[in-house]
Amino acid sequence: MGRHPHRHPLRRASPSVGAFAIAGLALLLGASPAAHAEPVAVRFIEGVTRGYLVVHALDGKSLGQGDLTQLARNGRVESRMVLRFHDGSLHDEEVVFTQNKVFALVSFKLTQRGPSFPTAIEATMTGGSGEYVVRTRTGDRDKEYRGRLDLPPDISNGLPIVLLRNLSAGQSASVHIVAWTPAPRLIGLDIVPAGEDPTRVGEETRRSRRFELRPKLSLLLKMAAKVLGKMPATQHCWVMADPVPAFVACEAPLAYDGPTWRIGVVSPTRRATTGSPR
């Protein structure tokens, strides 16, 4: 298939990037669970990763940059993504998961603050017990939510990109995530292959696989969402179509009430100085 219509060309691929946060799939009414949802099987073992990220608006305007680090130790994978925005905002996400035949969430922590996020949030969640604590601030109003969710084994906050890289060609998946609205809500998420697009790697053009990430809504909720103007948008992510997959980019909001942004990878380059060796 050709390039997805009305999408900007993808310019750069990277070495394999691990856990990547996909947020912003919330619907204030909640959602029905995904049909036949189950954990995604491990095809590629996650290990040490260091990624460099950039954030752009869909019109190409630069919004910020960040880092992704990942370590595998003591039978767990610890991943952290930090995005620093030009306006001083911060998105900081930490995910711990296991990879024993299937990917399983151990813990999740999210911090967002600054002008890019009208609602500041600090959220923590434990995968096994489902316990959560959410603290928010909007203007000068503070709120706190505490409780426990009955989480299914396929809960995948912070894991969609890991899951995409482990899907074979043409394979789809249905999982669950907790959406912070800011009160936590469990929703289904369908991950569906949607063709291939050309992607620039240096001076070469290669193929990347495009996926659509679709919140799973019942017919009743879908009708209500349309009436209220709260339909969550389908999101898009790309991974290289090579036998060894690599993350390319995602177009998704980072907050439930936020705009869609493009989060992609960038390679470090040496900055030449006068008199420095080439």
Kindly list the distances between the CA atom of residue 159 and the CA atoms of 116, 213, 221, 249, in Å, as whole numbers in the listed order.
23, 12, 25, 14
Q: Are 258 and 24 in contact (CB under 8 A)?
A: yes
Q: How many domains does the chain have?
A: 1
Is 124 within the bounds of a domain? no
Taking 70 as the threshold, does the pLDDT of residue 277 lie above it?
Answer: no
Is 225 within the bounds of a domain? yes
- The mean pLDDT value of the chain amounts to 84
Is 227 within the bounds of a domain? yes
For the four alpha carbons of 24, 30, 33 and 38, in that order, the dihedral sign comes to positive
Reported confidence tier of residue 229, pLDDT bands at 50, 70, 90:
low
Reported confidence tier of residue 12, pLDDT bands at 50, 70, 90:
very low
Q: Are 17 and 245 in contact (CB under 8 A)?
A: no
Q: Are 34 and 173 in contact (CB under 8 A)?
A: no
Mean pLDDT across 214-218: 75
Mean pLDDT across 40-51: 93
* DSSP state letters, 226-271: HHHT-PPPPEEEEEE-SSS--EEEEEE-SSTTSPPEEEEE------
**Residue 73, amino acid:** R
Considering only CA atoms, which of 236, 239, 259, 214 is closest in space to residue 8? 236
Taking 70 as the threshold, does the pLDDT of residue 6 lie above it?
Answer: no
Is 122 within the bounds of a domain? no
Residue 150: both structure tokens together? 């009955």
Q: What is the pLDDT of residue 258?
A: 83
Is 255 within the bounds of a domain? yes
- Whichever domain contains 198, its CATH number is 2.40.360
Is 179 within the bounds of a domain? yes
Angle value at C-alpha 159, between 103 and 252, nearest 5 degrees: 160
Reported confidence tier of residue 233, pLDDT bands at 50, 70, 90:
confident
> Domain containing 58: what range?
49-108+152-265
Q: Is 157 helix (H, G, I), strand (E, B) or coil?
A: coil
Is 229 within the bounds of a domain? yes
Is 128 within the bounds of a domain? no
